Chains A and B, each alone.
Chain A
Amino acid sequence: MFSHGSESLIKQAREIQEPELQKFYCRLGKLLVGKELGHETMDSLQRLHLILSATKCTRTLPVELHKRLLSLLSSPVEQLQVLSSAVLRETLPLSGQELNYSQENVQLNSHSAALLLSQAGSRADLSSLCAQLLRGLDSRQPEGPTHSLTHTLPVLNAVLTHSPESLNDDNVTLLSKKLVDWLRYASIIQGGGASAGGFFTGPRSRQPVPTAELDGTVSGDFFTVLCVGQGFTEDQWMNVYSFSMLHHWLLTYHTAPSGNTFTDTDDRSEVDGSVVSMVSATSSSSRLLPPKERLREKAFQYCLRLIEQSDRKALKRTDTELQKACLVEAVCILDCVCVEDTSLVYRTFPYVKPLFGRLSSDLTFARVLLPIAQFYLNHGEMAAVDCESLWKLVFGRFPAELFNDPFLAHELLRFLRLNLESLVLRVPQYPRSFPNLLKFLAWDSPAVVDDFVDLLPSLVTVETAVELLHTLLDLPCLSATLVLQLRSTSSPISEPGGRGLLSLDAFRSPSFRGLFLYLLRPEAGSGDTIDRLSTLHEFLAESADWPRVVQCSQTVPVLLHIFFNTVITVADPKLLAHLILVMLERSSLLLNLPRYMKEIHRVFSCHLLRLCKLHPSLVVDQSHVLLEFAGTTASVYSKEEIYTHVVWALGEYLSVSCDSRCSVTLITSCFETLEAVLFEITSSTPPPGACCPAPRVITTLISALAKLASRSHDLIPRVSLFLSKLRTVTRAGSVAWCADEEDLVAIVTRGEELWSLLRTPGVAQSVLTPPPHVTTPQWHRDTNLSMSLQLRTLTSLTHTQ
Chain B
Amino acid sequence: MVRCFLIHSVCPLSELPAGDSRLLYCRLFAPGDGLLTGQLRERSPAERSLLRGEKAAVVARQVRSAVSLSREASGGRPPGEALPGDEALALQDASSGVVRLRAGDPFSEEMSALWLGVQSLGFTLVCEPHENLLLAEGTLRTLTRHCLEHLHMLGPGSEVLLRSNRIDALLSRLLPHGQLLFLNHRFAQSLEKDVAAYMAK
Contact = CB atoms under 8 A, between A and B. Distances in A.
A251 interface: yes
Interface of A: 1-3, 5-7, 9-11, 42-43, 45-47, 49-50, 53, 56-58, 78-79, 82-83, 85-86, 90, 92-93, 110-111, 113-114, 117-123, 126, 147, 150-151, 153-155, 157-159, 161-163, 214, 225-232, 237, 240-241, 243-245, 247-248, 251, 316, 318-319, 321-322, 324-326, 328-329, 332, 367-368, 406-407, 410-411, 414, 444, 446-447, 450-451, 547-548, 551
B196 interface: no
Contacts of B132: 247, 325, 328-329, 332
B30 interface: yes
B186 A229 contact: yes
A83 B133 CA distance: 30
Given A2-B11, A244-B179, 10 more contacts: A6-B24, A9-B158, A53-B164, A58-B45, A79-B198, A85-B168, A247-B130, A322-B183, A322-B184, A414-B100
A157 B130 contact: no
Nearest to B188: A318
Interface string B158-186: 10111111001100100011111111111
28 contacts: A1-B81, A1-B120, A10-B161, A45-B165, A57-B46, A83-B165, A86-B164, A150-B176, A151-B177, A158-B177, A162-B35, A163-B36, A229-B186, A230-B186, A243-B182, A244-B182, A248-B1, A318-B188, A319-B184, A319-B185, A325-B132, A325-B138, A328-B132, A329-B182, A367-B133, A407-B114, A410-B112, A447-B98
Contact of A120 (B9, B31, B172, B181): B31
Contacts of A86: 164-165, 168
A540 B114 CA distance: 33
A10 B22 contact: yes
B124 interface: no
A122 B41 contact: yes
Contacts of B11: 2
A76 to B, nearest CB: 13
The 10 closest A-B pairs by CB, nearest first: A154-B179, A325-B135, A154-B177, A154-B176, A158-B30, A406-B97, A225-B182, A6-B158, A58-B49, A120-B31
Contacts of A316: 185
Nearest to A110: B172
Contacts of A226: 184
Given A110-B176, A162-B35, A444-B73, A410 B133 contact: yes
A111 B170 CA distance: 12
B88 interface: no
A111 B169 CA distance: 9
Nearest to B49: A58
A547 B72 CA distance: 6
B1 A407 contact: no
B100 A326 contact: no
Contacts of B143: none
A535 B36 CA distance: 61
Given A57-B50, A162-B35, A228-B184, A367 B158 contact: no
Interface of B: 1, 9, 11, 13, 15, 22, 24, 26, 28-33, 35-36, 41, 45-46, 49-50, 53, 65-66, 69-70, 72-74, 76, 81, 96-100, 102, 112, 114, 118-121, 128-130, 132-135, 137-138, 153-154, 156-158, 160-165, 168-169, 172, 176-188, 190, 194, 198, 201
Nearest to B31: A120
A779 to B, nearest CB: 41
A318 B185 contact: yes
A228 B183 contact: no
A58 B46 contact: yes
Given A410-B98, A447-B97, A46 B164 contact: yes
Contacts of B49: 58, 90, 92
Contacts of B100: 410, 414, 447, 450-451
Given A58-B46, A407-B98, A53 B165 contact: no
A328 B134 contact: yes
A411 B130 CA distance: 10
Contacts of B76: 547
Nearest to B45: A92
B169 A2 contact: no
A211 to B, nearest CB: 9
Nearest to A451: B100
Nearest to B175: A154
Contacts of B186: 228-230, 232
Contacts of B134: 321, 324-325, 328, 367-368, 407
A400 B53 CA distance: 41
B29 A158 contact: yes
A328 B172 CA distance: 25
Nearest to A231: B190
A672 to B, nearest CB: 51
Contacts of A46: 162-165
A204 to B, nearest CB: 26
B50 A58 contact: yes
Contacts of B28: 118
A92 B74 CA distance: 45
B138 A322 contact: yes
A324 to B, nearest CB: 6
A79 B98 CA distance: 33
B176 to A, nearest CB: 4
A151 B176 contact: yes
Nearest to A8: B158
B181 A241 contact: yes
B102 A228 contact: no
Contact of A322 (B96, B133, B182): B182
Contact of A3 (B31, B73, B156): B156
Contacts of A113: 177
A93 B48 CA distance: 12
A115 B181 CA distance: 21
A446 B68 CA distance: 11
B158 A5 contact: yes
Contacts of B168: 82, 85-86, 111
B46 A92 contact: yes
Contact of A406 (B96, B162, B185): B96
A56 B55 CA distance: 12
Contacts of B72: 547, 551
Nearest to B153: A1
Contacts of B50: 56-58
Given A57-B50, A407-B137, A447-B98, A157 B164 contact: no
A156 to B, nearest CB: 9
B66 A49 contact: no
Contacts of A161: 1, 30, 128
A135 B66 CA distance: 45
Nearest to B172: A110
Given A56-B50, A154-B178, A226-B184, A9 B161 contact: yes
A10 B15 CA distance: 11
A551 B74 CA distance: 11
Nearest to B96: A406
A214 B184 contact: yes
A244 B102 CA distance: 26
A648 to B, nearest CB: 37
B151 to A, nearest CB: 11
Nearest to A47: B162
A548 B76 CA distance: 10
Contacts of A5: 156-158
A2 B120 CA distance: 6
Contacts of B184: 214, 225-228, 318-319, 322
Nearest to A13: B161
Contacts of B53: 56
Contacts of B185: 228, 316, 318-319
A783 B10 CA distance: 68
| Max chain B Cβ within 10 angstroms of own Cβ: one of A11, A85, A321, A322 | A322
A3 B30 contact: no
Contacts of A7: 13, 15, 22
